[in-house]
Amino acid sequence: MTHTRGALFDPVFGASEVAEELSDRAWVLALLEVEAALTRAAATVGLADAAHAATVTAVAEQLAAPGAVDIADLGRRSAAGGNPVIPLVKTLRAAVAEHGVPAAAVHVGATSQDILDSALMLLSRRAGHRVLADLRAAANAAAELARLHRTTPVVARTLGQQALPTTFGALAASWCTGLDDAADQLARALSALPVQYGGAAGTLAAVHPHGPALADALADQLGLARQVVPWHTVRTPVASLAAALGVAAGAVSKPATDVTLMASTEFGEVAEDAPGGSSAMPHKQNPVAAITARAAARRVPGLVSTVLSAMDHEFARAAGGWHAEWETVTDLLRLGGGAARRLAASLGGLRVHPDAMARNLDITGGLILAERVTGALAAHTDAARDIVTAAAAAGIPLDQAPEITAHLTAAELRDLLDPSHYLGHAADLVDRALASRAARPARTIGGHP
């Protein structure tokens, strides 16, 4: 059985699919893949026999079969050396020895960190594709909402209070813009993830004079970016990935928060297509997808902080800082991916209620248009702001306040107090956002969108 970090809660927080790319078995497969690729790369520079490389690759594939490696036993054997590469290399060498392959053909010139870092980069790229796909899906859903509701009036709220009219399309356009930006940043971080190959102390001494060529060949075998130099203790690739996942989580949280609030009973402006119920209250229609997107995203900043605070790796190999990254990064991918998936589900089936939006626009009795009335009244009196402020404070409807009606006709006030007549550039901004999306080049990573 494939083990993930949480079979009970992964489905709740949207992480089921991305977790498959980050399971214990996925880790073992990635480690074996790197070892096999290293032997093949060594063969390209004359440090391993091509036939041996083919055998190592075949045996590694056999060990990758379900049940071929006892993961629990591997974990126990990993404790002595502090990482699973040491016992796994021993297992691989023993297996290829039965086919006449010498031990020297496995783990050529490498240190454990080379294999584990490169495996983490592979896992991050693969899981990252899923995160990106869900971020794009959420952005596309938001863009479609923006298109459909570019002129649908809704309250713009600032500091928790009604401010001015806007359109729901303009709000949704802001969602898709943030999600697109976050996806692009994550795509760049994933594309830059490099191979790791430096040997025992980062000098490639064991494979001199072939070190740089072998490192490049290994990168090409794995489809990772080529390293400039070994980055054993310069953790900017990992930190950049963590930061991009943090930005993505924040971009997810924004629309998830808006949907959660707008779906409240008092607002009733949107509803999820498949809301969740309550174990105690039959009437509840909870926006569960948005809620769980927020929950997953809220756990991300702390993990980003862990990665950033662990960047001070000492000298040529860190004692603890490196080890702290493995599960932290995979958890970041699980949670970031889960949050994006749950948001995509929320926005993809979101039901919009323009009637409720119109109702909420009217609950102040026209005060939401006070700015517009003040502007029109200012053409007649320098005391316009004081007059409108006094009427609002007294609870007098603006179309009934004597000091206002003395200057503005009933017809003028009807026009001034119509929310749909004071939307500014809301619809234009939707068009601008959608046009910007259409003009973006297709983003790909390793040939995948």
For tokens 């091509």, the residue is 50
For 349-359, b/e burial (b = at least 16 CB within 10 A) is ebebbeebbbe
Q: How far apart are CA 371 and CA 167, in angstroms?
A: 17
Q: What is the DSSP-derived secondary structure letter of residue 286?
A: B
> Which one is catalytic: 278, 305, 309, 436?
278
Cis bond leading into 441, ω under 30°?
Answer: no
324 and 304 in contact (C-beta within 8 Å)?
no
34 and 115 in contact (C-beta within 8 Å)?
yes
Q: Catalytic residue at 317? A: yes
**Which residue in 366, 394, 341 sits closest to 136, CA to CA?**
341
- Which pair of structure tokens corresponds to residue 115? 């294999």
C-alpha Rg value of the chain to the nearest Å: 29
Residues in the chain: 449
With H, G, I as helix, E, B as strand and everything else as coil, classify residue 371.
helix
Q: Compute CA distances 15 → 4, 349, 411, whole Å.
A: 10, 19, 56
Cβ neighbour number for residue 314 with a 10 Å cutoff: 10
**Which residue in 106, 108, 104 sits closest to 91, CA to CA?**
106
256 and 141 in contact (C-beta within 8 Å)?
no
For 195-212, b/e burial (b = at least 16 CB within 10 A) is bbbbbbebebeebeebbb
Cα atoms in the 13 Å half-sphere on the side-chain side of 239:
14
Q: How far apart are CA 277 and CA 273, in angstroms?
A: 13
Kindly write down the DSSP assignment for every residue of 194-259, as one continuous string: BP----TTSS-GGGTTSHHHHHHHHHHHHTPBPPSS--TT--HHHHHHHHHHHHHHHHHHHHHHHH
Q: How far apart are CA 235 and CA 187, in angstroms?
A: 18
> Which one is catalytic: 77, 299, 317, 385?
317
Q: How far apart are CA 369 and CA 125, in angstroms?
A: 50
- Nearest 5°: the CA angle 45, 202, 118 is 70
Q: Is 360 exposed, middle or buried (0-12, 13-18, 19+ CB in 10 A)?
A: buried
Q: Catalytic residue at 279? A: no
**Which residue in 55, 84, 52 sits closest to 70, CA to CA?**
84
Catalytic residues: 278, 317
